[in-house]
Amino acid sequence: MEKQQMESDIGLLMRQPYGRRVVWQMLEQAGVWRSSFNTEPLAMAFAEGRRNFGLWLLDLVVRECADEYELMMREARDG
């Protein structure tokens, strides 16, 4: 997918309440806000790969739609 198209699509997604819920859930599942440390090297490598995707998504969201990111954070906090 082209970079410009991805940037446009994430903006459209984040403007919708359901889109922000989906992105939030993806970031949580990716483990963006928790350590991926594990004493088992393969489990840690797997978790770090998942987290790397989440960090990519987080970067895209923050760069392209900072206002919606802040709204998503408030919505997640307020439940």
pLDDT in tens for each of the 79 residues of the chain?
799 999 999 999 999 999 999 999 999 999 999 999 999 999 999 999 999 999 999 999 999 999 999 999 999 999 8
CB 44 within 8 A of CB 36: yes
Q: What is the pTM of this model?
A: 0.93
Query: For residue 54, which of 20, 29, 19 has the smallest C-alpha distance?
Result: 29
Angle formed at CA 30 by CA 26 and CA 36, multiple of 5 degrees: 165
CB 53 within 8 A of CB 30: yes
- For residue 42, give the 3-state DSSP assignment: helix
